[in-house]
Amino acid sequence: MVAETNDVQNFIAVQALFQHLAESNLEYLSNNIYVAYQKSGGELEVGTGEAKPVGLVMVRSGSLEIRDAQQNLIDRLSAGDFFIPRVLAQAPAEMIVRVLEDCLYYELSESAFQSIRSNDEDISRLCDTYARSYQADASKSENAPAPAVRKQHAFTDSYLDQSVKDYMTAPAFCASPNITIRRAAQIMTNNKISSLLITEDERLVGIMTDRDLRTRVVAKGVADTEPVSGVMTPKPHCIDMRGRLHQAQLVMMSSGIHHLPVVDRDVPVGMLGMSDIMRANNLEPLSLTRGINNATTVTELAAVAAKLPDLVVKLIERDTRPYEVGEIITSLSDALTRRLLRLAETVYGKPPCTWAWLAFGSQARQEQMLGSDQDNALIYANNADDSADAYFAPFARFVNDGLDVCGIHRCPGDIMASNPKWRMTLAGWQQTFNYWIQERSPKALMHASIFFDMRPVAGDLELVNHLRGYVLAKARSNTIFLALMTQNALEHSPPLGFFKQFVLEKDGDHNHTLDLKKRGTITIVDIARNYSLAAAISEVNTISRLQAMERAGVMSRELVASLVDAHEFIAGIRLQAQGEKFHAGDTVDNQLDPKTLSPLVRHQLKEAFQLVRQAQAAMKARFGGGVL
Amino acid sequence: MAVFYSLSYRWQKKRYGKAATKTPLAGIYQATAPASRSLMRENRFLVVDCEMSGLDASRSQLLSIGWVVIENARISHASGKHLLIHADRGAGESTRIHGLHDATIAGAKSAAAAITLLAKQVPGSVLVFHHAPLDLRFLQQTAYDNFRCPLLFGYVDTMLIEQRRLQLQGAESGLRLAQCRERYGLPPISGHHNAMTDARATAELLLAQTSYLGGAGRVSLGRMGIQCSRHQYVRGV
C-alpha cells in the first residue's frame, strides 16, 4: 500500500463541517464513506430501514433539492452541502430529496457519523443546530402564509408561550357609557371587580377603575348621578386575546396601568390584571422587574441587572423569537431607566418643569440586545428656563452613570442626556430636527438617523408625541431628505460575495467574520425607517413599522412578509451567536464566524441577504431620485 | 452476447480449472460465474485500472494495479487498493506519464504477489475496466507468466457502455475517461493520474452510466454488456 491522499478525503477536508478535523479523523471518515450517483430528476432515498443506515449525505457534485409532500421547497444543496437522512425522516412532514443536476454524493455510515458526532463538539453542535432548524423549518415554506405559527412547539413550557387568553379573567364586565357613576360603582362592588369596561355597540370605548373613582369622582366632587362617560378613561390600551403575556406586561409597564382589557377584534372578552401575569409565572422577566422596582440604591439595581445576561441566555435556549427577546431586554432597560429616574428625583428633588426622557436607536425600537449601549436624551416643555437645565445636568448624569453601572454602557458617540447638547426644549428639538432635515449633507444624516427612532421612556409623553408629529410632517414633504436617507441606508449592504469564499477559507489566512448588525439587521431597520418617514408612520419598532407600511400601502404584502421573516432570521442568528459567546465567556458582539453555520443556515442567510438587496433596490428606485 | 458470455466462461473454467489448482488462482476457478440476468444492485464489482511501462504487452510490463469495490451500487471508499509492482527492467519511457519512478517502485510488490492479491478479490465479483482490452492483455500476460494459467472473470467495459450509448444517440464524442465523466456531470479528477485514482474515477462513471440506463435496481449485467475474460497469450517466457 502507498500512503496517498485521495479525492474523497481532499474534498471533505475543506468542507465547513469537517475542516477543523485532524488528519486521522478525516481518514476515519473517508474510510466510512460510500460514493453514489443519481441522475437529474431521480430521487434519493431517505428511509431509515436500510441494512447499512446512512448518517449523513454530502453532495460532491451536482445539486439536490428537498421538498415536502406539498412540493414546498425546503432546501437546496450543492457541492459541500449536506443533509442528515434521520432528521428528514423524522421531520413533521414527509420529505422528498430530488436531484436537480446529476449528482455524485457521499454517504457517511451511521456508525461513523455517530462516532464523530459524539467525539467532536463542533460537529455535534452543528448537527443539533441543523436538526433544530429543520424542525422549525419543516412547517415553513415558500408559500406559508403565517410565519407566526413557526417554532410554536419550542417554548410551550415557558411563561412566554402563555397566551393572554389563558390567563385573562373572563367574561369581561361591560356597561354602557350612559349609566351613572353610582351604577357603575355598584356593578363593580357586586361583582368584586376593580375595573369596568365601557362599551358601545359591543365595542370597547372606555374603562372605569377604582382609581378613576377616587381621583376623578370623589377627589373632584363629581356627582355620582353623572354619566360614567364623563369620568372614564376613553380609548384605553387593550390587547388582543391572541397576544402573549409578555406583550401585555410591556403595555402595562409602558403605560403605567394595572388593568388591561382583552379584546377579540375590538370586542372585549376579558380583563388581564398585573396579578394575573404574576400568577402565570414568577419567571425571570417579572421577578427582575420586581427586583428593579424595589431597588432603593444604584448598587441594588446593578445587582438585579447583573442577572440580565443569564435571563437572555435562557430565553435563547428556549428558542424565544428574537423580537420577543428584544422586547423583553428593552422592557427591562426601560424599567431600569425609570427606576434610576425615580432615584434621581429622591436625590435632586422634584423637577422644575415638565420633561420627558427619550430613548433613541435600538431601545426606542424595542430591539435591544446584549451589549446594546445607551442612546437617550431629555426634552423639556418650552417654558423651561436655564434653571431647569441646571437641575437636569446632574440628574441626567446620575441616570447615565447608573445605567452604565447596570451594564448598559455609555454611548461612545455621547448621545446621552448628560451631554448638554441633547437636553433641549421641545422648540429646541424641533429646530434641531428641522436642521437635519433641511441640511443636505449625508454625513449629518448618518449622525442623525439614530434620532429618527425615538420613544418616550418616562415623563410627559405628550412632549414626545408633539416632537414626533413635527418630525414626520417635515420629513415626509422633503424628497431630498428622503433621497439622502436612502443613500445613507444603502451604505450598509448585505454581503453577497462573502460566502463564495467560504470553502477556500482554510487555505488563505483571511479571518472573515460577518457583522450581523451592520450588514444584517440594520439594513432592514434602515429600510423600515425610511418608508416610515416618507409615509408619516409613527411606529418605531421595525416589525410594527413594516406592518404599518403594508397597511398604508407603501410596500407590498409579499415584500413586507419577506422582510419580517428575514429580519427575524438574521436577528435569530445574531442572538444565537451572542448567547454562545456569552456562554463561552467571550466578549458579546455582533460578529459571526460563518464557518460555524450549517450549510442550511448559510443558505437561508444568503437568501435573506438577497431579499434585503431587492428591498434596497426598490427603496432606491422610490426615493433615490430626489438627489438628482 | 449473454449466451456467449456464459458458454465462454464454462469452457474456460473447464479448460484451465485443472491447471489452476495449487496456484493462487484456484479460488477463481471454484467460483460460479455472475449470472448475466442478475441486477447491478445485487452484484459486487471490482473496478480495476492498471498502469504499464508501455502499450505492448510483449515488451512492457505492469507497473501498478489499483482497484475499488462497488457493492449495492455504492463505491466503498475504504476498499480502494493501490499496488505498486517491481519493474524488472526499470520503468522506462512511461514514467513521465505515470509519475512512477524506479525509486518509488523499489520496495513494491512482485508481479506475482500483485496478481495473487487481485485474484483474492475476483471470486464473486464482476470486474470493471475503462477500455478493458489493454488492461486485460497485461493482467493475463502477467498471470500466465507467473502461474501458467489465466485469470477468469466476467467483466464490463465502461468505454463500451459509453460507445453504445453514443451510438444510440447518434452522437460522436470522445471516449476517454475524463471526457465520459464530463458528460455525466462528474467532477474533474483531481491530482495526477495513477491506477488508484483512475479506478475510482471509472467506478464513479459506472454508477453514472447505470443510473442513466435505468438505475441499479433495474439494469442487468447482460444489459451492461458483460463479457468473459479470455486467455491472451502473447509472449513466451
Name which of A563-567, B95-99, B110-114, B178-182 the model is least confident about: B95-99
Tell me which chain B residues have a C-beta less than 8 angstroms from the C-beta of A6: 77, 80, 196-197, 200
Q: What is the pLDDT of residue B106?
A: 55
Name which of B49-58, B169-178, B228-237 the model is least confident about: B228-237
Confidence of residue A423 (pLDDT cuts 50, 70, 90): very high
Mean pLDDT of chain A: 80
Tell me the mean pLDDT in the region A98-124. 88
Tell me the mean pLDDT in the region A222-240. 87
Confidence of residue A481 (pLDDT cuts 50, 70, 90): confident
Q: Give residue-wise pLDDT tens across range B86-106.
A: 766 544 555 555 555 554 555
Tell me which chain B residues have a C-beta less than 8 angstroms from the C-beta of A35: 74-75, 77, 200, 203-204, 207
Residue in A7, A102, A109 to test binding to B, most B beta-carbons within 10 Å: A7
Question: Would an 8 Å CB–CB cutoff place A3 in contact with chain B?
Answer: no
Confidence of residue A397 (pLDDT cuts 50, 70, 90): very high
Is residue A391 within 8 Å of A493, Cβ to Cβ?
no
Question: Would an 8 Å CB–CB cutoff place A27 in contact with chain B?
Answer: no
Cell matching residue A374: 445607551
Tell me which chain A residues have a C-beta less than 8 angstroms from the C-beta of B190: 7, 10
The residue type at A30: S
- For residue A133, pLDDT beyond 90: no
Q: What is the pLDDT of residue B2?
A: 62
Nearest chain B residue to A3 by CA distance is: B82
- For residue B43, pLDDT beyond 90: yes
Q: What is the pLDDT of residue B60?
A: 82
Q: Is B47 exposed, middle or buried (0-12, 13-18, 19+ CB in 10 A)?
A: buried
Cell matching residue A622: 422610490
- For residue A558, pLDDT beyond 80: yes
Question: Would an 8 Å CB–CB cutoff place B75 in contact with chain A?
Answer: yes
Could B185 and A42 be called an inter-chain contact, meaning their C-beta atoms sit closer than 8 Å? no
* Helical spans, DSSP H, in chain B: 2-20, 26-30, 95-98, 102-105, 111-121, 132-147, 158-169, 177-183, 195-213
Of B80, B200, B207, the CB nearest to A36: B207
Nearest chain A residue to B197 by CA distance is: A6
Comparing A290 with A369, which gets the higher pLDDT? A369
Mean pLDDT of chain B: 86
Tell me the mean pLDDT in the region B139-158. 92
d(C-alpha A323, C-alpha A327), whole Å: 6
Question: Would an 8 Å CB–CB cutoff place B197 in contact with chain A?
Answer: yes
Of A35, A62, A102, the CB nearest to B77: A35
Tell me the mean pLDDT in the region A440-444. 66
Could A37 and B184 be called an inter-chain contact, meaning their C-beta atoms sit closer than 8 Å? yes
Tell me which chain B residues have a C-beta less than 8 angstroms from the C-beta of A33: 77
Name which of A31-35, A402-406, B92-96, B191-195 the model is least confident about: B92-96
d(C-alpha A474, C-alpha A443), whole Å: 19
Name, of A88-92, A290-294, A435-439, B23-27, the range with top average pLDDT: B23-27
Q: Give residue-wise pLDDT tens across range A257-274.
A: 778 899 988 888 888 876
Confidence of residue A501 (pLDDT cuts 50, 70, 90): very low
Question: Would an 8 Å CB–CB cutoff place B190 in contact with chain A?
Answer: yes
Question: Would an 8 Å CB–CB cutoff place A4 in contact with chain B?
Answer: yes
Q: How many helices (H) and strands (E) does chain A have?
A: 24, 19
Which 122-181 residues of chain B touch chain A by CB within 8 A? none
CA distance B87 to chain A (A): 16
- For residue B1, pLDDT beyond 80: no
Q: What is the pLDDT of residue A282?
A: 42
- For residue A420, pLDDT beyond 80: yes
Of A2, A31, A34, the CB nearest to B74: A34
Tell me the mean pLDDT in the region A500-505. 33
Q: What are the C-alpha distances in Å from A111 to residues A52, A89, A114, A116, A598?
A: 9, 17, 5, 9, 21
CA distance B122 to chain A (A): 19
Q: Give residue-wise pLDDT tens across range A190-210.
A: 887 888 899 988 888 999 888
Q: What is the pLDDT of residue A139?
A: 42
Which 37-66 residues of chain A touch chain B by CB within 8 A? 37-40, 42, 52, 60-62
Q: What are the C-alpha distances in Å from A373 to residues A123, A403, A513?
A: 34, 9, 22
Could A38 and B211 be called an inter-chain contact, meaning their C-beta atoms sit closer than 8 Å? yes
Is residue A341 within 8 Å of A391, Cβ to Cβ?
no
- For residue A37, pLDDT beyond 90: yes
Tell me which chain B residues have a C-beta less than 8 angstroms from the C-beta of A52: 72
Tell me the mean pLDDT in the region B173-178. 88
- For residue A499, pLDDT beyond 50: no
Q: What is the pLDDT of residue A628?
A: 38
CA gyration radius, chain A: 28
Question: Would an 8 Å CB–CB cutoff place B118 in contact with chain A?
Answer: no
Tell me which chain A residues have a C-beta less than 8 angstroms from the C-beta of B207: 35-37, 104
CA distance A437 to chain B (A): 57
Q: What is the pLDDT of residue A144?
A: 34
Helix (H, G, I), strand (E, B) or coil at A107: strand
- For residue A627, pLDDT beyond 50: no
Closest C-alpha among A14, A38, A36, A34 to residue A26: A14
CA distance B203 to chain A (A): 9
d(C-alpha A352, C-alpha A425), whole Å: 13
Residue in B41, B74, B105, B219 to test binding to A, most A beta-carbons within 10 Å: B74
Tell me the mean pLDDT in the region A422-451. 81
Q: Give residue-wise pLDDT tens across range A327-365.
A: 888 888 998 999 999 999 999 988 889 999 999 988 999
Could B77 and A52 be called an inter-chain contact, meaning their C-beta atoms sit closer than 8 Å? no
Confidence of residue B121 (pLDDT cuts 50, 70, 90): very high
Could B185 and A101 be called an inter-chain contact, meaning their C-beta atoms sit closer than 8 Å? yes
CA distance A30 to chain B (A): 7
Q: What is the pLDDT of residue A319?
A: 64
CA distance B82 to chain A (A): 6
Question: Would an 8 Å CB–CB cutoff place A266 in contact with chain B?
Answer: no
Q: What is the pLDDT of residue A503?
A: 30
Comparing B224 with A308, which gets the higher pLDDT? B224
Q: Give residue-wise pLDDT tens across range A137-169.
A: 444 443 333 332 223 333 333 454 567 887 788
End-to-end CA distance of chain A: 72
Tell me which chain A residues have a C-beta less than 8 angstroms from the C-beta of B189: 7
Tell me which chain B residues have a C-beta less than 8 angstroms from the C-beta of A31: 77-78
Of A1, A33, A52, the CB nearest to B77: A33
Tell me which chain B residues have a C-beta less than 8 angstroms from the C-beta of A103: 185
Of A2, A8, A102, the CB nearest to B77: A8
* Helical spans, DSSP H, in A256-321: 274-280, 284-294, 298-305, 308-317
Tell me the mean pLDDT in the region A397-415. 90
CA distance B24 to chain A (A): 20
Tell me the mean pLDDT in the region A171-182. 88
- For residue B191, pLDDT beyond 60: yes
